[in-house]
A and B are shown apart, each in its own frame.
Chain A
Amino acid sequence: MKNIYSKNIGLLIVLGMITALYSSSCDSFVAVDLPNNQLTGVVVFQDPTTADAAMRNVYASLRDSGILTGSAFGLSYRLGCYADELDFYGSASNSTYDFYNNSLLPLNQAIKTYWNTTYNQVYAVNAVLEGITASTKIPKEDANRLKGEALFVRAFLHFYMVNLYGDVPYITTTDYQLNKSVSRKTTQEVYQLIISDLEAASTLLPENYYGSGRARPNKATVLALMARVYLYTEAWGEAANAASAVLNQTSLYTDEPDIKKVFLKGCKETIWQLTPNPEGKNTFEAASFTILAAPPANVALTESLVQSFSNTDLRKTAWIGSITNNTTRFYFAKKYSQYNPGSVSTEYSIIFRLAEIYLIRAEARAHQGETINALDDLNHVRQGAGLVPLNGLNQQQLLTAIMKERRWELFTEFGHRFFDLKRTGTLDAELEGSKLGWDSTDRLFPIPEDELSLNPNLLPQNTGY
């Protein structure tokens, strides 16, 4: 029996060793360090360089995905098809086909992607705002600039959301507990929040551009968006004032005499543009609009748009290309023409440029009855396109002329045509004839069905869906 006891003691010792080894080393064993491609949120906002990288990623995201991308997934392309700028030749399985047919449905994947991507971008800017506010390590100058940029981008994204989806939530925090059950704000409330964000941004942002190119929004960019927002909300006086504030910056912004150079990266008419990545690539727009062989595989400018140009309009020759297959000639936008990469990038995607600001002021002034000044602004744009100045128009004629001018000047840029028809109440009149699938309720996109199912506070669905 003794033998057995001594064996059991031996056993107990070994048992004890295994357990001891386990318990002493275990807790520390399963602790892991941060992976080498990640930083904690707190650390990012301890250093102006990493804080700036967080903001840069927002611009990269705007450029590559969501509503502002120049690719075939962005608004320039799809709203061009949705309104009357582009004819779609691609496959029926392509999601743009539903835009072209005005047959968007709440389950449409593209509609959901716009919604989700935009709010993801909003999250990122809110995270920058919160990170900078909580940090004590960022120099004031950088902190103000980054906050200003974040507020501007937040306002800018909500501006598109309210125009595409109607009443939408306005997200100002990263707290998912709050954001998961938000309700829609009225269009008027959304615009008020946009304005207040823009007002804050304009006091925070510097007059000059940060970094190379005009790739980061400055104070004038904020004013440019303000001018557009006031125009959309028919606050004519404010719109004209904001536009003037931009146009008066003559040291920064001057007319480009050569119309072929307007969309090159160094153009002085540019107010804000997005740089491609990596250096050497050019814009997505060039690749999505250029027709390489006829008949086109994707999109072509509509006959009605091409025919509406005067033959002396320099924009018709400089910004529109064409290709034929011997029976038919197809036209395409070639504002951006570099669809191949090169050793250096020559074209950046321009979001705000001077001509729009002239046209905003022209329209605002026309509504205020300042027809002479309005005509001046309109003719300024016409002159650039090599067109004769207009004279002696009454207010209504002037407004009609401005709308035409906007169509010629801003075609295939971020859905201007669609938004202009919409805000002037002329969508149905203009599109019912040319678009078979057009319905009056198509002025708003449907709220994505998944979104309604995840957050019933967003109900009801927009009418018509």
Chain B
Amino acid sequence: MKNSSHFKPWVVQVLPKIYSLFFLCCLSGVYAQNKTITGIVTDDNGALAGVSIILKSRPLATLTDEKGNYAIIAGSNDILVFSFMGYKSVEIAVTNHSIINVHLREDATTLKEVTINAGYYTVKEKESTGSIARITAKDIETQPVTNVLATMQGRMAGVSITQETGTPGGGFNIKIRGLNSLRTDANVPLYVIDGVPYASDPIGYSQTSSVFPNVTSPLNSIDPDAIESIEVLKDADATAIYGSRGANGVVLITTKKGKSGKTQFNFNASTGAGKATAFAKLMNTSQYLAMRKQAYANDGIPTYPANAYDTNGTWDVNRYTDWQKELMGGTASFSSLQGSVSGGTEQTQFLFGGNYKEQGTVYPADFLYHKGGVLLNLGHTSTDKRFRLTVAANYTVQNNNQAAADLTIDGRSLAPNAPALYDAEGNLNWENNTFGNPLRFLNAEHRSKTNDLIANTLVSYQIFSKLQIKSSFGYTDTNHTETRTSPSTINNPSFGITSESSALFVTKTARRSWIIEPQLNFSTLWGNGHLDALLGSTFQQQLTTRLSQNGIGFTSNGLIYDLASASIRQVFLSDEVVYKYAALFGRINYDWKQRYIINFTGRRDGSSRFGPENRFAFFGAVGTAWIFSKEAFLQNSEILSFGKLRASYGSTGNDQIGDYQFLNTYSSSGQSYQNVAGLQPTRLFNPEFSWETNKKLEAALELGFFNDRIMLTAATFMNKSSNQLVGIPLPGTTGFSSIQANLNAVVENTGLEFTLQTKNRTGTNFKWSTDFNISILKNKLVDFPDLEASTFSQRYRIGQPLNISLVYVYKGVNPVTGIYEFVDSNGDGQITFPEDKQKVVDLNPKFFGGLQNQLQYKNWNLSFLFQFVKQKNTNISIGAAGRRNYNQPVRFVDSWQQQGDSANYQKFTTGTNSQVMNAQTLYENSDAMIVDASFIRLKNISISYAIPLPRTAIKCKVYVEAQNLLTFTPYKDGDPEFIKSGFLPPLKMINSGVQFQF
């Protein structure tokens, strides 16, 4: 505890008084043979003040005074626990002693005392039976990012996170231990913020979210600065208590809380800038025009057509523009402000904080993303410590103003000799109607406003010493308004299109949910061990309403945001979705001699997403741990300071299938005919589908060496998902593309995860620690009855991962015809689907991880994290090379020109040679497109200096931090991190700031 020097005197004066008062109240207690125990607590330097002494089985506690003295009333059966931050705790049984003096040893690592949040309960990291990864504010704060998932990249074993777009407000893709479900959109984890589940289902609507690869995700609402810690629950032992929602892992987010002691002020301001990480390497003008001319020659077209403006001289053939640089090469500003005040007494603590972030755009326009939030946290404990109350509220406002479209595709494909963007007067240049100026898209705007409240209250009361009753109450309220404009000014003015044709699209989404979780906690000594039991139930309801509207025709573009000014208005969508969920859950944990720990968890769930016959299901798990370093034969080992073997097995479920899917309904289509709104069949329905289950098995070894200076964790797991709940793809002749049903397919995820933490130097002036994690994951479709005859026959292969592509096998360019050739596997003389499209390529990362170093020298602090991913991804494709107004990657210079050429790429065509066009399509679906897209990225680096300010209580720190600063990759077509090609790459940010604390 950094501030312990400020904290100590106050504590020493006041707390013992409170405590003596407290135990006077308890004097009339239950144990008859109570006596006063006194003693002195010391460390290597002498008396130790402020050490807490508690009775293990009863809510009774005290602190040592300045001289290390204490007094407490206890019975002879009691165990006294002496603990102090940074020291190893000591437990001593009272028996017949009345004076107990204790010597505390400093703990080389504070790890031992690290308590981790497991959701419904907390557990000491060293005594945990489950697999839980964790990062804390220390790592989160040094990252200049706005999305919480960005802060986790490269830092957690088993957690793979991919940024989908560099546009602020865009989403991230997260996979915890691989893909479990055949449904691509059903692999998201459960998010729980301070105990309240937070729905991550998209808000918004495709019509208005067009700038992003996917519909807007609500996760942007969580502010990284408000977070104290993020825990990711991975195995059955940790996730089974979340039952049906735990199959894909659980992300627990804990916000910052106040600490008792002196009122503390914290203020942090920073500013910086960002640029796109990488662009594809494209042809220049002479290479481009040579390609185009060759294409006409190849196609036997002697004169360039009138519309070949790029080639026939309509456009300046000597002009060159690097369009990626021109359109996306700008600098995005970034700034962040953050302040908080916290403090309180031993009974009541508070934290009040606020933060604001702003991020600009790399496009040549003024677009800004704003995000601000306030956080309030209150905690109160009654003087008898029986009653506790914590209240937390987090309110975030986002205001995102972006172009309505991503310019990446234009940047990649525009002819390099395309005309200037602006004419001499500074207006958009349309080059006599021959140029569709890409900047027209910047006249169309995407604006979104999101207000998000997450509030929770936890009330607990200790009924008896062994029994606590508590309940949490949570409430979330998300309001999201998203608009997209399509003003007449996106058109060439010579079209004469007026604001009569301008359009506005508005989507309003409101999502409210409440949750109540009453719980009973029972805790007792039993035999030679400690028994903890938990029983609780959950009632949750979530209501999402969406209204999506469209207005066309405005008297002026100045009124375009006023739907009432539109001459025509339509409602696309107006719906209300209710999700209800109820559960009964429990946990029994027994810890024998702090060596053998067994943990049972279970949950019975009911969800409104299933038909009446299939609403309920049971999930459960057992976890065990053996802390063998506490066995006699290892107790005094010089080398091994900690050793634990743990294993768990259990089941979790998945109900991410959307709501009402079991009903046969008609819904309003939003489209009218003869001025009456139409009703459309909503879906093919199946009333019988039920829960998908996921069985998880894990074994892990945790070792600490040399007084825990080296900590190693090795975990192996095997997860099997069965009874897959799938939108089974159907041929179009059924009228729909899929139907929800359970499929008897089994998906297996296996993997190895290693984490290594070392404290290389622990001196007072120089400290150096290293954290390393690596995950090697394997995904496999184990079983799929009758795959051959099913509609999945060309999508999956038994024994292969889910995330595969079936592709043609590329052979090369025929030197005679100049056309791509492929392996004719069935030898029928032609390349046919599906027979020849059978090669499996695996697009899952082979392994990934991160390496972080933290160095501290006197007042200097340096930390840097390298993220690495070994993976394959697809090359970008801009279609057949040689077509009008389509640039190509520069590698296409090596294309076939004449007979006998051995070229890497086939001959150019303007699009009329159907053999070449056909070969192009096969090429795009062949293994030639799949290339190594592994990368090592300097994900984060931060340097800070604590300015010494003698004789003040002010701490001041200046820092520089950077995100995505360097990337090493063999991938040629821009940044290797993407899910869907054609969107802005992640930005590299450099940010500097100052932090005050007093």
Seen from chain A, the residues whose Cβ lies within 8 Å of a Cβ on chain B are 3, 7, 10-11, 14-15, 18-19, 21-23, 25-27, 29-42, 44, 50, 52-54, 56-61, 63-64, 89, 91-93, 97-98, 101-103, 105-107, 112, 115-116, 119-120, 122-124, 126-127, 169, 171, 174, 176, 179-180, 182, 211-213, 215-216, 274-275, 277-281, 292-295, 297, 325, 328, 340-341, 343, 436-437, 439, 448-456, 458, 461
Complex: A112 Cα to B143 Cα, angstroms: 45
With a cutoff of 8 Å between Cβ atoms, the chain A residues found around residue B498 in the complex are: 340
Q: Is the CB of B574 within 8 A of A37?
A: yes
With a cutoff of 8 Å between Cβ atoms, the chain B residues found around residue A115 in the complex are: 732
Complex: A212 Cα to B676 Cα, angstroms: 11
B424 at the interface (CB under 8 A from A): no
Complex: A37 Cα to B739 Cα, angstroms: 21
Interface centre among B496, B584, B680 (most CB of A within 10 A): B680
Q: Is the CB of A15 within 8 A of B535?
A: yes
Partner of A275, one of B674, B736, B921, B925: B674
Q: Is the CB of A39 within 8 A of B580?
A: no
**Given A32-B580, A36-B576, A123-B735 contact (CB < 8 Å):** yes
Complex: A36 Cα to B668 Cα, angstroms: 10
Q: Is the CB of A25 within 8 A of B678?
A: no
Q: Is the CB of A179 within 8 A of B307?
A: no
Q: Is the CB of B678 within 8 A of A56?
A: yes
With a cutoff of 8 Å between Cβ atoms, the chain B residues found around residue A112 in the complex are: 732
B347 at the interface (CB under 8 A from A): no
**Given A38-B667, A38-B682, A213-B674, A180-B731 contact (CB < 8 Å):** yes
Q: Is the CB of B30 within 8 A of A3?
A: yes
**Given A31-B612, A93-B886, A39-B666 contact (CB < 8 Å):** yes
B501 at the interface (CB under 8 A from A): yes
Beyond the given A26-B582, A292-B496, could you list 20 further A-B residue pairs with CB under 8 A, ordered by the A residue number?
Answer: A14-B463, A15-B520, A22-B584, A30-B580, A32-B578, A34-B660, A36-B575, A39-B666, A54-B666, A54-B680, A61-B669, A97-B883, A102-B914, A112-B732, A180-B734, A274-B673, A275-B673, A340-B498, A450-B731, A453-B794
B95 at the interface (CB under 8 A from A): no
B184 at the interface (CB under 8 A from A): no
With a cutoff of 8 Å between Cβ atoms, the chain A residues found around residue B732 in the complex are: 112, 115-116, 119-120, 448, 450-451
Q: Is the CB of A453 within 8 A of B568?
A: no
With a cutoff of 8 Å between Cβ atoms, the chain A residues found around residue B495 in the complex are: 292-293, 297
Taking the closest CB of chain B, its distance from the CB of A79, in whole angstroms, is 18
With a cutoff of 8 Å between Cβ atoms, the chain B residues found around residue A57 in the complex are: 669, 671, 673, 678-680
Q: Is the CB of A39 within 8 A of B665?
A: yes
B664 at the interface (CB under 8 A from A): yes
Q: Is the CB of B667 within 8 A of A37?
A: yes
Complex: A30 Cα to B732 Cα, angstroms: 34
Chain B, Cβ-Cβ closest to A32: B608
Taking the closest CB of chain B, its distance from the CB of A294, in whole angstroms, is 6
Partner of A30, one of B522, B568, B607: B607
Q: Is the CB of B734 within 8 A of A179?
A: yes
Q: Is the CB of A211 within 8 A of B663?
A: no
Q: Is the CB of B679 within 8 A of A50?
A: yes
Interface centre among B467, B678, B793 (most CB of A within 10 A): B678
Q: Is the CB of A292 within 8 A of B299?
A: no
Taking the closest CB of chain A, its distance from the CB of B882, in whole angstroms, is 10
Q: Is the CB of B912 within 8 A of A437?
A: yes
**Given A15-B535, A180-B731, A294-B433, A30-B671 contact (CB < 8 Å):** no
With a cutoff of 8 Å between Cβ atoms, the chain B residues found around residue A106 in the complex are: 833
Chain A, Cβ-Cβ closest to B918: A105
Complex: A30 Cα to B736 Cα, angstroms: 29
With a cutoff of 8 Å between Cβ atoms, the chain B residues found around residue A126 in the complex are: 735
Provide a sorted-by-A list of 22 A–B residue pairs whose CB atoms are within 8 angstroms.
A7-B466, A11-B520, A30-B606, A30-B615, A41-B664, A53-B676, A54-B678, A54-B680, A57-B679, A57-B680, A91-B436, A92-B879, A97-B911, A101-B917, A105-B921, A171-B733, A171-B735, A325-B433, A436-B912, A448-B732, A449-B833, A453-B795
Interface centre among A21, A57, A212 (most CB of B within 10 A): A57
Complex: A176 Cα to B608 Cα, angstroms: 25
Q: Is the CB of A89 within 8 A of B307?
A: yes
Of residues 498 to 537 in B, which have CB atoms within 8 Å of A's CB atoms? 498, 500-501, 518, 520, 522, 535-537
Chain B, Cβ-Cβ closest to A210: B674
Interface centre among B30, B498, B668 (most CB of A within 10 A): B668
Complex: A294 Cα to B306 Cα, angstroms: 12
Taking the closest CB of chain A, its distance from the CB of B759, in whole angstroms, is 44
Seen from chain B, the residues whose Cβ lies within 8 Å of a Cβ on chain A are 30, 299-301, 306-307, 413, 432-434, 436, 463-464, 466-467, 469, 491-492, 494-498, 500-501, 518, 520, 522, 535-537, 539, 552-553, 567-570, 574-582, 584, 606-608, 612, 615-616, 659-660, 663-669, 671-682, 684, 729-737, 739, 791, 793-795, 832-834, 879, 883-886, 911-914, 917-918, 921, 925
Taking the closest CB of chain A, its distance from the CB of B724, in whole angstroms, is 18
Q: Is the CB of A37 within 8 A of B668?
A: yes
With a cutoff of 8 Å between Cβ atoms, the chain A residues found around residue B925 in the complex are: 107
Chain A, Cβ-Cβ closest to B409: A93
Partner of B884, one of A92, A216, A275, A458: A92
With a cutoff of 8 Å between Cβ atoms, the chain A residues found around residue B464 in the complex are: 7, 10
Chain A, Cβ-Cβ closest to B686: A176
Partner of A119, one of B413, B615, B735: B735
Partner of B578, one of A35, A42, A64, A449: A35
Q: Is the CB of A180 within 8 A of B733?
A: yes
Complex: A430 Cα to B794 Cα, angstroms: 39
Taking the closest CB of chain B, its distance from the CB of A169, in whole angstroms, is 5
Complex: A123 Cα to B539 Cα, angstroms: 39
Q: Is the CB of B681 within 8 A of A59?
A: no
Complex: A313 Cα to B48 Cα, angstroms: 108
Interface centre among A56, A102, A297, A439 (most CB of B within 10 A): A56
With a cutoff of 8 Å between Cβ atoms, the chain B residues found around residue A123 in the complex are: 681, 734-736
Q: Is the CB of A18 within 8 A of B518?
A: yes
Complex: A21 Cα to B583 Cα, angstroms: 11
Complex: A405 Cα to B49 Cα, angstroms: 106
Taking the closest CB of chain B, its distance from the CB of A124, in whole angstroms, is 6
With a cutoff of 8 Å between Cβ atoms, the chain B residues found around residue A281 in the complex are: 552, 568
Partner of B681, one of A35, A41, A63, A461: A41
Complex: A390 Cα to B497 Cα, angstroms: 44
**Given A176-B736, A292-B494, A101-B914 contact (CB < 8 Å):** yes
Complex: A42 Cα to B659 Cα, angstroms: 20
Q: Is the CB of A22 within 8 A of B500?
A: no
With a cutoff of 8 Å between Cβ atoms, the chain A residues found around residue B913 in the complex are: 103, 437
Q: Is the CB of A280 within 8 A of B567?
A: yes
With a cutoff of 8 Å between Cβ atoms, the chain B residues found around residue A27 in the complex are: 606, 615-616
Q: Is the CB of A340 within 8 A of B567?
A: no
Top-8 shortest CB links A-B:
A123-B735, A57-B678, A292-B495, A116-B732, A453-B794, A56-B673, A60-B671, A293-B494
Q: Is the CB of A56 within 8 A of B501?
A: no
Complex: A169 Cα to B793 Cα, angstroms: 21
Taking the closest CB of chain A, its distance from the CB of B541, in whole angstroms, is 8
Taking the closest CB of chain A, its distance from the CB of B436, in whole angstroms, is 7
Taking the closest CB of chain B, its distance from the CB of A285, in whole angstroms, is 16
Taking the closest CB of chain A, its distance from the CB of B691, in whole angstroms, is 13
Q: Is the CB of B665 within 8 A of A41?
A: yes
**Given A22-B582, A27-B606, A56-B673, A341-B553 contact (CB < 8 Å):** yes
Taking the closest CB of chain B, its distance from the CB of A333, in whole angstroms, is 17
Interface centre among A60, A294, A328 (most CB of B within 10 A): A60
With a cutoff of 8 Å between Cβ atoms, the chain A residues found around residue B674 in the complex are: 56, 211-213, 215-216, 275
Interface centre among A50, A105, A119, A454 (most CB of B within 10 A): A454
Complex: A126 Cα to B921 Cα, angstroms: 36
**Given A10-B464, A103-B911, A293-B433 contact (CB < 8 Å):** yes
With a cutoff of 8 Å between Cβ atoms, the chain A residues found around residue B681 in the complex are: 41, 54, 123-124, 127, 174
Complex: A383 Cα to B377 Cα, angstroms: 85
Partner of B575, one of A35, A42, A180: A35
**Given A3-B30, A176-B734, A37-B576 contact (CB < 8 Å):** yes
